[in-house]
A and B are shown apart, each in its own frame.
Chain A
Amino acid sequence: MSTMIGPYEQTDAAKAAYDARWERIMACVRLEQPDRMPVGLQSFFWPATYGGITYKELMYDYEKAKKVCFDVVAEFEPDGVYPLLMGTGQGLALEKLEFKQLQWPGHGVGDMQPYQYLDREYMTPDEYDDFLFDPTGFYIHKYLPRVAGAFEGFDKLPIFPGLHYFRLVNGIRSFALPEVRASLEKIVAAAEEVNTFFGHHIEWTQRINAAGFPLFNGTNSVSPYDFIADYFRGATGMMKDLYRHKDKLKLVLDKAAVFLTKMTITNAKLSGNPIVFIPIHWAPDAFMSPKQFEEFWWPPFRKMLMGLIEADLIPMPMWEADCTKRLEVIKDIPAGKCIYWFERTDMVKAFEVLGDRVALRGNLSPSLLTTGKPEEVDAAVKHLVDDVWNKGGKLILDGAFGIPDETPVANVRAMFGAARKYAG
């Protein structure tokens, strides 16, 4: 017996393997003991390293990208797979959108160099009021034209609230402007490319599912603070706002928590997968004081986490850098509902504080994976098994932030091999 997933046949054995892998992750989330320690696989450009293609090819060549991303899954047999194409397959769409916030392989950086996000002020401090009054209007007239060339004509569009009756009829005149027409044409072309890309993503997902491997998460999201810091105010602008515009900043963060929660629930439900990956940039111990963290960063994010949990989703924040001093604060969520992925936070310490609250994920260090020897990787996995997993920690093994792009394949083999050797 077998079933078809899209064009791919899933045998009964593959279905059983799929179910067992997903159940391992779900057992960890529920804080129950699975049959063995699950291993997650996340990466950006490492599949190119593994498959011997360039990062640029991974960005632009859908067929090559699907092949190397499938081969990685087939060799390492992870329990949950990051939607690998989502992280790196959008070169053509980014180009057609004339996306300005990023440089990517073959566009601004070399063919074998990773993303470089361009940290800039995409919203000035005196625009807080505009954003607060009407975020959608701010997006249409200001933000979208700033971050993507395809939207540049949108600054000519009418102010929509207020359009009524004959004012509405006359108000749409700007849609006939050449700049607006050009924008709309570019956006349609970019959207068609995104659609094509999604077709490949879905086809690749069906292929790995049919082979017995679940996607770890269906959608990504962002915390309210990081959303405003990274994509609107820029790093240094945001840090100054903690002093200069603290009241408006708090209002914006509260508002962002509401629409980010809505957006995330919609996307997760569409994906059919309850796990939401949320990379966290601005929570690290070194980035702000405990007081600032509890005043600005945590409350809007907690509100969002609770909203996602109430919608039966499983948030998976990935706490970048060292967040040891935040553990007691971020513990304030219901038990058995989240996966906390830690990058540089000591996993033993995280387990001590959060072991009865959340599943854990991580965290072999990037320096070890890229420059260490296989036996050192083996020893690092053994340490996590001995000191977290065997003591009852619901650990999902992974790299600190997945597999770094330059990691030697032997080290990844050592990582997966050690997981099976020491924890089932």
Chain B
Amino acid sequence: MSEMTEQEKQLVEWLADMNEDDALALSNRMLLEEGADPLRVLELCRTAMDIVGKRFEEGEYFLPELVLAGEMLENIGKVAKPLIKQGEGEESKKLGKVLIGTVHGDLHDIGKNIVSFMLDINGFEVKDIGIDVPVKKFIEEINNYQPDVVGLSGFLTLAFDSMKETIGAFEQEGMRDRFKIMIGGGQIDETVRSYTGADAFGVNAVEAVNLCRNWMGVAA
């Protein structure tokens, strides 16, 4: 992004440092009182989120910071997005499309939501189709959305079989080669990856982002 003013640097710093109160007060002042360009403010947010992601990767930040960062971003977005003039700011080109859902029989969603958020702020277009997703729904959604990557999430041990069944159904439908499959969740490891036939597994949201980047040929 272009060079930042002192005020812009301050916003990025407060966001990246989890200083929520000061960051939101400043972004509100910039947007509502000083007439700052809302697209520029959202760009600053993305810069801050890059720092958050890096700190997560380096072991300085953990889940609480990802959750709080997501909420700060959402709150700024609520103020900024209505101020964007029509025609401005068409979505920049995305790195790839990821369809994600929790497999049938399993209702857990916290990990999946964090992965969706991290993929989104890292430039991927993400469609989250929710929890307890039947095999048939995965197939329908994939046919409509044409994703590059499908993410299957599951926390319970029963999810191992649901994932295997879901991936098996992709094969039967003849669609298995059209996208990569990553799996994740509390108990997922290489044994489960091999059992289910997924292409890869990840133990956290950054690993999910890196898998998608590699598959899309994007430099990390």
Contact = CB atoms under 8 A, between A and B. Distances in A.
A286 interface: yes
Given A366-B157, A406-B161, A235 B110 contact: yes
Contacts of A113: 105, 158
B64 A368 contact: no
Interface residues of B, number: 29
A405 to B, nearest CB: 6
Which of B60, B64, B67, B156: most chain A CB closer than 10 A?
Answer: B64
Contacts of B61: 289
A372 B191 contact: yes
Nearest to B187: A366
Contacts of A371: 160, 191-192, 195
A116 B204 CA distance: 22
Given A244-B20, A287-B62, A367-B192, A405 B158 contact: yes
Contacts of A286: 62-63, 203-204
Interface string A61-81: 000000000000000000000
A347 to B, nearest CB: 15
A292 B62 contact: yes
B36 interface: no
Contacts of B32: none
Nearest to A289: B62
Interface in A325-379: 365-368, 370-372
Interface in B164-189: 186-189
Given A103-B107, A113-B158, A368-B191, A240 B71 contact: yes
A153 interface: no
Interface in B187-212: 187-189, 191-192, 195, 203-204
Interface residues of A, number: 30
A387 to B, nearest CB: 19
A243 interface: yes
B64 A240 contact: yes
Contacts of A116: 106-108
B92 to A, nearest CB: 28
A365 B191 contact: yes
A119 interface: yes
B107 A321 contact: no
Contacts of A114: 156, 158
A204 B60 CA distance: 49
A103 B156 CA distance: 14
Contacts of A289: 60-62
Contacts of A2: none
Interface in A227-261: 235-236, 239-240, 242-244
B18 interface: yes
B68 interface: yes
Interface in A196-240: 235-236, 239-240
Nearest to B189: A367
Contact of B160 (A110, A239, A288, A367): A367
A119 B111 CA distance: 13
A236 B187 CA distance: 20
Contacts of A365: 187, 189, 191
A288 B67 CA distance: 11
Contacts of A292: 62, 64
Contacts of B188: 367
Contacts of A367: 157, 160, 187-189, 191-192, 195
Contacts of B68: 239-240, 243
A243 B160 contact: no
Nearest to A400: B187
A393 interface: no
A8 B81 CA distance: 72
B47 to A, nearest CB: 21
A230 B188 CA distance: 22
A321 B156 contact: no
Contacts of B204: 286
A40 interface: no
A404 B189 contact: no
Contacts of B161: 406
B89 to A, nearest CB: 29
Interface in A85-124: 103, 109-110, 113-114, 116, 119
Contacts of A109: 105, 107
Nearest to B21: A244
Nearest to A405: B157
Contacts of B187: 365-367
A119 B110 contact: yes
Given A365-B191, A368-B191, A371-B192, A242 B160 contact: no
Nearest to A242: B64
Contacts of A243: 18, 20, 64, 68
Given A286-B204, A366-B157, A236 B67 contact: yes
Given A240-B64, A243-B20, A406-B161, 11 more contacts: A109-B107, A113-B158, A114-B158, A116-B108, A239-B63, A239-B67, A244-B20, A286-B63, A287-B63, A367-B189, A406-B158
30 contacts: A113-B105, A113-B158, A116-B107, A235-B110, A239-B67, A239-B68, A240-B67, A242-B64, A243-B20, A243-B64, A243-B68, A287-B62, A287-B63, A288-B63, A288-B64, A289-B62, A292-B62, A292-B64, A365-B189, A366-B157, A366-B187, A367-B189, A370-B160, A371-B160, A371-B191, A371-B195, A405-B157, A405-B158, A406-B157, A406-B158
Interface of B: 18, 20, 60-64, 67-68, 71, 105-108, 110, 156-158, 160-161, 186-189, 191-192, 195, 203-204
In the A-B complex, the 4 residue pairs with the smallest Cβ-Cβ separation, listed nearest first, are: A239-B64, A367-B191, A404-B157, A371-B195
